Structure 1
Amino acid sequence: MQDQLSRAVVATAAGGLLVFTITWAGGTIGSGITGHGWHAPSFAASTAATLVTDGPGALWPGAPVGVVYAGILGLLAVLSVPAAFLAHHFTNSSGRAAKGLAGRRELAGMCPKGIEARARELRPSLKGREQLHPDETGNLLGDLDPKGPELRSSYEDVELDLMAPRAGKSTGIAVPRVLRAQGAVLLTSNKSDVYAVTRAEREKAGRVWTFDPQGIAHTPRAMWWNMLGECDTIEAARRLAGHFVASVNDDTAKKDFWISAAQNTLTALFLAAARGGASVQDILGWLADPADRTPIDLLRDANLGAMAEQLQGTVRGAVETRDGIYETARQTVSCLLDPGILAWVTPDPHSPEFRPADHVTGTDTLYLLSKDGGGSAAGVIAGIADATMRAGVVAAERMGGRLDPPLTAVLDEAANVCRISDLPDLYSHFGSRGINVVTLLQSYRQGARVWGDMGMDALWSAATVKLLGAGLDDADFVQKISTLVGQHDVRTPSISKSKDGTSRSYSYRQESILPPDKIRALPKGTALLLATGVRPALIRLRPWYKEPGAEVISAAAKAETAAITERAARRWTRGASTSAPPRQRTAWEREAGRPR
């Protein structure tokens, strides 16, 4: 208490001295400049007393009172400018970053100048140009908290973002990344919000392809993708089969006998159809009738005798085993029994065909929309997404190693609608090829459920940029992040009193820079940035609706949302008016379009 009182007395005395000094100097300056003499009163306590009792005019009796006040106010104005600058500087310096987190200097490579220099190295098309648009230099992440500058990742970075629902994944990451993309775009989602906001703007950049087999945006089918077009090799056929298997198998690292055997069978059937010119409908028929020798004959005609023998061995095996394998395979591709989904992967002479190889070298946009859960088209979505990104790799090799402009792949809800089983292994490879992949998950555990603990660890390690947003409730994971962020020294004062007086000493202890509770309670719109080679930093996301030009985009989004609502109403009305009790089907053959 006594210590606080002493400080208050000192502060009051200092404030009074400052006021007296400004008045004394300002009044003298005003009197001298106006020609009333440079006669300064004595700088003494008696003068201060006169100032308090009679006011500033009594100290310069030969000068008008207005002149004295004008001089005081003028001096105060002159002094306030550097004072405000110093206050802003020290406030900004102390608030530049929380103690222990990265600041502007550590993140220089992600700031505008650093990221522009890196972009000129990665993109040959930028060489020789004096002025670059910021979006040509890298992917916007957000602003360094609290005062900036903006931070961007380079075009060789691959990103993993973990945020709870409604924490800003769509508005602060997915939408801005699609709108600002310089090259081709691929977006997966189980909602129509990002599609509604970005479609009109992306139409200005190039053609928009909307793959919507389950009516997420209720768009009429205006394209088709040759699902079997990429299955002319065993590797490609196995990859496609793996996507369908992953759509029903939560952890691809834990495949039991039936899952593995089903994938082998699907691989053989996909390869037979691709080499023999058969259709997806034919594959459904082969699955419905294991005794059909057509796929075996097609494989032998294509000089794939080993694959044909393997499929024949499965067919001729024990009936219980064979039926179990085929039933598992049927379940993995059950979404194709829906004629509405099947039509999107069936050749249609009246609709344009989506060709991944053409897409990745332009500025077109591919929206891949699918529901999650039972009956979803996740296997098909993963197949077309994987085919597009692999086409990007091939195109990059033809360009000398890297796509320019880069391909932007935003895998929103990747754990639900785009389960590419070896995505963790492909991540670093994509970055070196100019394919900017952004995987958005709700939690670390959600990813581990799909790719397994080892797969998710690999994905985490391969991502060169990681954003951790609000609402991460996994206690173990948040504790690990707190450990990664590190600790800092905290100085603690201690005061001791004795008969000789009061002494002050300091001790130091270490505390977490960001304890787990603070990481969990990150405000919406902020994220913890973990970038390779620098300390963690706190950033503020840049929602699309707060950016310049948001009014035009918002108006287009409202119009698109209204159109989606209207299409949904028409579809529901049409379905209700034409619905009839379906004919009962008791076997897979009838579901596959092959009546007994």
Structure 2
Amino acid sequence: MAAMMKAFARQGKTNRPPLAVDVGCLVEQPRRHVWLQHRDGVIVHGPTGAGKTWRVAWQRVIDAPGFVLATTTKADLVAATLTERAARGRVAVFDPERLTGWPAGIAWSILAGCTDPDTAIRRADALARAMPLEGTRNGAYFEQKAATMLRCCLHAAALRELSIREVRVWVSARTNHTPVDILADTLPDWASELDQILSSASESSDDVLAAASRLLEPLASPTLLAAVDIPVEQSFDVAEFVLSGVNTLYLVSKGTSRSMAPFVAALATEVHHVADRASQRAPSKRLDPPVRLVLDEMNNVAPIPDLPQIMTDSGGKGIMVWAFAHNQDQNELRWGAEGGRVLAQSAPAMLVLPGLRGVEELSALSRLIGERRRWEASLHEGSRTYSLHDDTVLRADEIRELASDHALLIYRNAPAMLLSLPSVWEYAPWRHTVTASTRVFDDIVAGRRPPPRPEHSDPQRRREGGPGDE
């Protein structure tokens, strides 16, 4: 473990971004490090308490060479990484539910940019697809229709410079045809689609309205509404923040059914969209330094649409995704059986932490790792004979019972590897960094010191935008 700590410390002493990510050391050869490329997407499976935060997520936020988007359901990851990230760039916290107590949270208008129909489509799609299907019959149909209704309302509100409050009123009242009237002049086909939903007397239409209303239900809380109900010109500038330095954006939500998770997911989707577009304008068609998305509780807090596909093609654009989930069953519940399998199988790397309990997943992992072939000697009537035997490399119970500081890495076409993943609490410099950062965070929350400002210090540069905005 000491060798890994020294390598991590060397990374912090140079201004040149590391060319790879030090994931851990081989259990049987602790001096040998395992490195992943920045283009490798990684899915991490581990139940609550398995060490996702302190053995993996903290390290990936700290060692990121460029912009980081970090999602979480509680304050600990924000508090533990705050000072390290603030020393390298700006930090911003989107915490609409005020779970962290952060006093200077950003506000982001979901309507910003929705005068562009394509932006309205993207936002509505992210909102609608953030709602778990939960086994609903014809769930995909209702998701699609809810997205149609929301994109029409978002675009109509943006055109008239209205607020998300009006959108919520429109969605909850079948008899309100204001958005239809607004769209009739500019996008008559959209107006027709929306009118069909509102005018239909079928039960399916009622279900679509109920699904759209459910997405906006959290906005009944004035506290939650304030995080997204802001004039467009005062809204958090996503593109400027993502593309203007080694900045960090924390997105925080409980991820429950009545939380602001759909809006958090929409903001995460916008971050990926900005990075994706910027990569294609870069000379090498990839971002340098790379952008990193550390998606803790991805299925509940940041289910970015098409995440299974994003895991496969974003790496070549300089966008590295670390997606954290409890297990494969949770993936399939969130993305459907096929989407969950694609997500697990499309990631170039999978990191399995101790304590998984799904028999099917454990058995599948054991079969995937395969068998090792060995010669076995036997004596029969005084003569020795040899025969080949196939032994399972890791049984399902051995994967479940991994030591608390171990993890199983399955990477591309390489043999599976057992890694040692030290916790931040096991190494004094890391422990000191976390406790000092948490102390600063607590002082900021208590009002004993001012928070770092998410805005750029130079107003002129903020107006002009950051690199890649042109």
TM value normalised by structure 1: 0.68
Aligned partner of 2:342: which letter? A
Q: Which residue of 2 aligns with 1:451?
A: 335
Q: Deviations over 1:31-58 (max 9, x none)?
A: xxxxxxxxxxxxxxxxxxxxxxxxxxxx
Question: Which of 378, 393, 409 is the matching residue for 1:513?
Answer: 393
Q: Which residue of 2 aligns with 1:223?
A: 106
Rounded to whole Å, the distance in 1 between the matches of 2:40 and 2:234 is: 36
Q: Deviations over 1:379-422 (max 9, x none)?
A: 00100001001100111111131011111100000111112231
Rounded to whole Å, the distance in 2 between the matches of 1:545 and 1:175 is: 11
User: Is contact 2:269-2:305 (8 Å) kept?
Assistant: no
TM-fit CA distance, 1:526: 1.2
Moved more, 229-238 or 152-161: 229-238
Matched, 1:537 2:417: yes
Structure 1: gaps of 5 or more residues: 1-111, 113-130, 568-596
Q: Which residue of 2 aligns with 1:137?
A: 19
Matched, 1:237 2:120: yes
Aligned-partner SS, 1:454 = helix
Matched, 1:371 2:254: yes
Rounded to whole Å, the distance in 1 between the matches of 2:179 and 2:55 is: 49
Rounded to whole Å, the distance in 2 between the matches of 1:261 and 1:156 is: 35
Matched, 1:160 2:43: yes
TM-fit CA distance, 1:479: 1.2
TM-fit CA distance, 1:323: 4.4
User: Is contact 2:129-2:143 (8 Å) kept?
Assistant: no
Aligned-partner SS, 1:307 = helix
Question: What is the correspondence of 1:75-86 to structure 2 with a 5 Å cutoff?
Answer: none
Matched, 1:486 2:366: no
Question: Which of 196, 201, 209 is the matching residue for 1:318?
Answer: 201
Q: Which residue of 1 aligns with 2:464?
A: none
Matched, 1:275 2:155: no
Q: Relative to 1, partners in 2 of residues 1:488 and 1:174: Cα closer, same or farther, differing over 3 Å?
A: same
Moved more, 452-461 or 345-354: 345-354
User: Is contact 1:385-1:418 (8 Å) kept?
Assistant: yes
TM-fit CA distance, 1:176: 0.3
TM-fit CA distance, 1:241: 2.2
Moved more, 206-215 or 273-282: 273-282
Aligned partner of 1:554: which letter? V
Rounded to whole Å, the distance in 1 between the matches of 2:306 and 2:39 is: 19
Rounded to whole Å, the distance in 1 between the matches of 2:267 and 2:53 is: 22
Matched, 1:295 2:179: yes
User: Is contact 2:21-2:37 (8 Å) kept?
Assistant: yes
Q: Relative to 1, partners in 2 of residues 1:561 and 1:220: Cα closer, same or farther, differing over 3 Å?
A: closer
Rounded to whole Å, the distance in 2 between the matches of 1:173 and 1:145 is: 16
User: Is contact 1:222-1:351 (8 Å) kept?
Assistant: no
Question: Which of 540, 550, 574 is the matching residue for 2:430?
Answer: 550
Matched, 1:338 2:221: yes
Aligned residues: 433
Q: Deviations over 1:86-140 (max 9, x none)?
A: xxxxxxxxxxxxxxxxxxxxxxxxxx9xxxxxxxxxxxxxxxxxx9779611222
User: Is contact 1:244-1:333 (8 Å) kept?
Assistant: no
Q: Which residue of 1 aligns with 2:269?
A: 386
Rounded to whole Å, the distance in 2 between the matches of 1:185 and 1:252 is: 33
Rounded to whole Å, the distance in 2 between the matches of 1:433 and 1:542 is: 30
User: Is contact 2:80-2:435 (8 Å) kept?
Assistant: no
Question: What is the correspondence of 1:166-245 to structure 2 with a 5 Å cutoff?
Answer: 166-245=49-128
User: Is contact 1:184-1:364 (8 Å) kept?
Assistant: yes
Q: Relative to 1, partners in 2 of residues 1:332 and 1:252: Cα closer, same or farther, differing over 3 Å?
A: farther
Aligned partner of 2:174: which letter? P
Q: Relative to 1, partners in 2 of residues 1:268 and 1:518: Cα closer, same or farther, differing over 3 Å?
A: same
Matched, 1:423 2:303: no
User: Is contact 1:218-1:564 (8 Å) kept?
Assistant: no
Q: Which residue of 1 aligns with 2:324?
A: 440
TM-fit CA distance, 1:449: 0.5
User: Is contact 2:48-2:326 (8 Å) kept?
Assistant: yes
Q: Deviations over 1:183-226 (max 9, x none)?
A: 01100111111111001111101111011111221112442112
Higher relative contact order (CA 8 A, sep 6+): 2
Q: Which residue of 2 aligns with 1:263?
A: 147
Q: Relative to 1, partners in 2 of residues 1:230 and 1:491: Cα closer, same or farther, differing over 3 Å?
A: farther
TM-fit CA distance, 1:292: 2.7
Matched, 1:527 2:410: no
TM value normalised by structure 2: 0.85
Aligned partner of 1:142: which letter? G
Matched, 1:462 2:342: no
Rounded to whole Å, the distance in 1 between the matches of 2:397 and 2:204 is: 52
Q: Relative to 1, partners in 2 of residues 1:520 and 1:135: Cα closer, same or farther, differing over 3 Å?
A: farther
User: Is contact 1:245-1:259 (8 Å) kept?
Assistant: yes
Rounded to whole Å, the distance in 2 between the matches of 1:544 and 1:311 is: 52
Question: Which of 179, 187, 199 is the matching residue for 1:304?
Answer: 187
Rounded to whole Å, the distance in 2 between the matches of 1:350 and 1:265 is: 25
Rounded to whole Å, the distance in 2 between the matches of 1:236 and 1:458 is: 27
User: Is contact 1:469-1:522 (8 Å) kept?
Assistant: yes
User: Is contact 1:252-1:421 (8 Å) kept?
Assistant: no
Rounded to whole Å, the distance in 1 between the matches of 2:205 and 2:395 is: 55
Q: Relative to 1, partners in 2 of residues 1:461 and 1:257: Cα closer, same or farther, differing over 3 Å?
A: closer
TM-fit CA distance, 1:230: 4.1
TM-fit CA distance, 1:312: 1.8
Aligned-partner SS, 1:356 = helix
Rounded to whole Å, the distance in 2 between the matches of 1:167 and 1:313 is: 49
TM-fit CA distance, 1:531: 0.9
Rounded to whole Å, the distance in 2 between the matches of 1:181 and 1:170 is: 15
Moved more, 246-255 or 291-300: 246-255
Moved more, 533-542 or 439-448: 533-542
Q: Relative to 1, partners in 2 of residues 1:354 and 1:542: Cα closer, same or farther, differing over 3 Å?
A: farther
Q: Deviations over 1:309-364 (max 9, x none)?
A: 11122222227665443233111211122211111112269977242343234211
Aligned partner of 2:300: which letter? N
Rounded to whole Å, the distance in 2 between the matches of 1:563 and 1:155 is: 34
Rounded to whole Å, the distance in 1 between the matches of 2:434 and 2:346 is: 35
User: Is contact 1:222-1:352 (8 Å) kept?
Assistant: no
User: Is contact 1:176-1:543 (8 Å) kept?
Assistant: no
The alignment-based identity, stated in percent, is 27
Aligned partner of 1:359: which letter? V
Moved more, 459-468 or 232-241: 232-241
Q: Relative to 1, partners in 2 of residues 1:340 and 1:329: Cα closer, same or farther, differing over 3 Å?
A: same
Aligned-partner SS, 1:393 = helix
Aligned-partner SS, 1:346 = coil
Aligned partner of 2:37: which letter? S
Bigger Cα Rg: 1
Structure 2: gaps of 5 or more residues: 1-6, 8-12, 448-470
